[in-house]
A and B are shown apart, each in its own frame.
Chain A
């Protein structure tokens, strides 16, 4: 069964940085376009970023552009999200998803002093 597992979440102060990771198993990661999606507590889903299978194409939501960087390492079956200049409104569960049909269980990021 295809699986994704996120890690790297935690508590960080406003203005701080955090790097999320997502490891894939039981599917051909290097052929999948990948996304990060987040969900603030009690709120709906928000698309954050997209990276193509070969890393040639990258997109960001306006809310994170210039602060977040998506990347991947196909040799390690891994997806990353480098987050900087974090704000309280970035507090959310962050999910990685493969073409939106495979989802991880999420990792919680809390931005608070």
Chain B
């Protein structure tokens, strides 16, 4: 059974930089898995941030960036703001199937 793994929680200071990762139990994550990243705040629907590894939506703040790092998909936040405190989910495509990671709770402290 395929599993997509994220760090359960991370803490970052305001103005700092943090990288969240997304790994697949099937092996190295490549662009062929079309990694997506989402932000979700309490009581809200998810909001798309990154698609196809590195592409930003028109509403994605410039401080968010996506990449591949060490066989994983990665989301980097540079110059973290207090409003970035949220849950973050990655999504990978396995052919026709999609699978979310378990999510990372990001605390800005």
- A-side interface residues toward B, CB under 8 Å? 35, 37, 44-47, 50, 57, 59, 61, 95, 97, 100-101, 103-106
Contacts and interface: CB of A to CB of B under 8 A. Distances in A.
A103 B41 CA distance: 14
Give the top 5 A-B pairs by smallest Cβ distance, nearest first.
A47-B98, A59-B96, A44-B103, A45-B100, A103-B45
A59 B57 contact: no
Given A45-B46, A47-B91, A95-B46, A101 B51 contact: yes
Contact of A44 (B36, B48, B97, B100): B100
B14 interface: no
A105 B100 contact: no
18 contacts: A37-B100, A44-B100, A45-B38, A45-B46, A45-B89, A47-B91, A47-B97, A47-B98, A47-B100, A50-B96, A50-B98, A57-B96, A95-B45, A100-B51, A101-B48, A101-B57, A103-B47, A103-B48
A101 B46 CA distance: 9
Nearest to B57: A101
Nearest to B104: A44
A109 to B, nearest CB: 15
Nearest to B102: A44
